[in-house]
Structure 1
Amino acid sequence: MSGLRSLFKQTFIYGIATVLPRMLSFLLVPLYTSEAVLANPSEYGKVSVIFSYFVLFNVILAYGMETAFFRFFNKEEDKAKVVSTATLSLVVSSIGFFLLALIFQNQIANVIAIDVKYINLVIWILLLDALVIIPFAWLRANEKPMRYAVIKILNVAVNIGLNLFFLLALKQLAQESGLFERIYKTNFEISYIFIANLVASAITLLAMLSFYTKIKYRFDKQLWQQMLRYAFPVLIAGVAFSINETFDRILLKELLPADIAENDIGMYSACYKLALFMTLFATAYRLGIEPFFFSHAKAKNPQKNYANILEFFVALGSIILLAVVVFVDALKPLIIRSEAYWDAMWIVPIILLANFCLGIYHNLSVWYKITDRTKFGAYISVVGAIITLVINFIFIEAYSYKASAVATLVAYASMMLLSFYFGRRYYPIPYNLKKIGLYLLISIGFSMLSFYKYRGVYIVGIAMLIVFLGLVMLLEKNQLRNVFKKVKT
Structure 2
Amino acid sequence: VTPPLRQLTRQTLVYGAGNVLTRLVTFLLLPLFTNVLTPGEYGLATLLYVFLGFMNIVYHYGLDTAFMRYYNEADGPDAQRSLFSTALWLSLGTSCVLSFLILSGSSGLSSLLLGGGQYTHLFKLAAGILLLDAISHVPFALLRLEGRATLFVSIKLMNVITTLGMNIYLVVMKGMGLDGIFLSVAAASAVTTFSVLSATAGSLQFAFNSSSVSSLLKFGLPFLPAGLASIAMESIDRYILASLTDAATVGIYTAGYKLGIFMLLITTAFQYAWQPFFLKAGNNPESKTLFARVFSYFMVIALFVWTVITLFISEIVRLNVAGVSLIGPAFVEAQSIVPIILMAYVFQGAYLNFLPGIYFEEKTKYIAVITGLSAAVNIGVNFALIPIYGIAGAAYATLAGHGTMAVTTYFTSKKLFPVLYDWFKLLRTVTAVVIALGTAHFFDYTLLGRIAGASAFTGALFMLKVITPGEVSKIISVFQPPSKDTN
**Fold shared per TM-score above 0.5:** yes
8 A Cα contact 2:292 2:420, kept in partner: yes
The question of 1:126 aligning with 2:116 is answered: no
The question of 1:265 aligning with 2:250 is answered: yes
Cα separation, 2, equivalents of 1:445 and 1:381: 34
Distance 1:161 1:306, change over 3 A: same
The question of 1:95 aligning with 2:96 is answered: yes
Aligned to 1:112: 113
Match 1:244 to one of 207, 229, 233: 233
Match 1:375 to one of 347, 365, 373: 365
Residue 298 of structure 1: how far off its partner (Å): 4.8
Residue 379 of structure 1: how far off its partner (Å): 1.8
Aligned to 1:462: 451
Match 1:66 to one of 64, 67, 72: 64
Larger RCO, structure (CA 8 Å, separation 6 or more): 1
Match 2:196 to one of 192, 208, 214: 208
Cα separation, 1, equivalents of 2:456 and 2:170: 47
One-letter amino acid matched to 1:264: T
Aligned to 2:73: 75
Identity across aligned pairs (percent)?
27
The question of 1:346 aligning with 2:336 is answered: yes
Cα separation, 2, equivalents of 1:49 and 1:443: 38
Aligned to 2:322: none
8 A Cα contact 1:325 1:447, kept in partner: no
Aligned to 1:196: 184
8 A Cα contact 2:310 2:339, kept in partner: yes
The question of 1:385 aligning with 2:375 is answered: yes
Deviation sequence 1:99-130 (CA, Å, 0-9, x none): 11011111112222354454343333222111
One-letter amino acid matched to 2:47: V
Cα separation, 1, equivalents of 2:364 and 2:215: 13
Residue 397 of structure 1: how far off its partner (Å): 5.2
8 A Cα contact 1:29 1:270, kept in partner: no
Distance 1:93 1:446, change over 3 A: farther
Distance 1:459 1:46, change over 3 A: farther
Structure 1 SS opposite 2:260 = helix
Number of residue pairs matched by the alignment: 464
Aligned to 2:298: 313
Distance 1:64 1:55, change over 3 A: same
Deviation sequence 1:227-262 (CA, Å, 0-9, x none): 111112222221221111222224444x246xx33x
Residue 338 of structure 1: how far off its partner (Å): 2.7
Residue 324 of structure 1: how far off its partner (Å): 1.5
Distance 1:446 1:247, change over 3 A: farther
Match 2:266 to one of 278, 281, 293: 281
Cα separation, 2, equivalents of 1:388 and 1:64: 23
Residue 17 of structure 1: how far off its partner (Å): 2.5
Distance 1:400 1:96, change over 3 A: farther
Cα separation, 2, equivalents of 1:444 and 1:81: 53
Deviation sequence 1:437-489 (CA, Å, 0-9, x none): 232354378569969x956x322222111111223355322323234456463
Cα separation, 1, equivalents of 2:455 and 2:15: 29
8 A Cα contact 2:292 2:421, kept in partner: yes
8 A Cα contact 2:256 2:334, kept in partner: yes
Cα separation, 2, equivalents of 1:53 and 1:256: 22
Cα separation, 1, equivalents of 2:439 and 2:170: 43
Please list every run of 5 or more consecutive structure 2 residues that lacks an aligned counterpart in the other structure: 320-324
Residue 299 of structure 1: how far off its partner (Å): 5.8
Structure 2 SS opposite 1:75 = coil
Question: Which segment drifts farther, 269-278 or 327-336?
Answer: 327-336
Question: Which segment drifts farther, 72-81 or 341-350?
Answer: 341-350
Question: Which segment drifts farther, 240-249 or 305-314?
Answer: 240-249
One-letter amino acid matched to 1:227: L
Residue 212 of structure 1: how far off its partner (Å): 4.8
8 A Cα contact 1:46 1:266, kept in partner: no
Residue 217 of structure 1: how far off its partner (Å): 2.2
Please list every run of 5 or more consecutive structure 1 residues that lacks an aligned counterpart in the other structure: 172-183
TM-score w.r.t. length of structure 2: 0.87
Aligned to 1:15: 16
Residue 430 of structure 1: how far off its partner (Å): 1.8
Distance 1:454 1:157, change over 3 A: farther
8 A Cα contact 1:256 1:397, kept in partner: yes
Cα separation, 1, equivalents of 2:329 and 2:340: 21
Distance 1:444 1:420, change over 3 A: farther
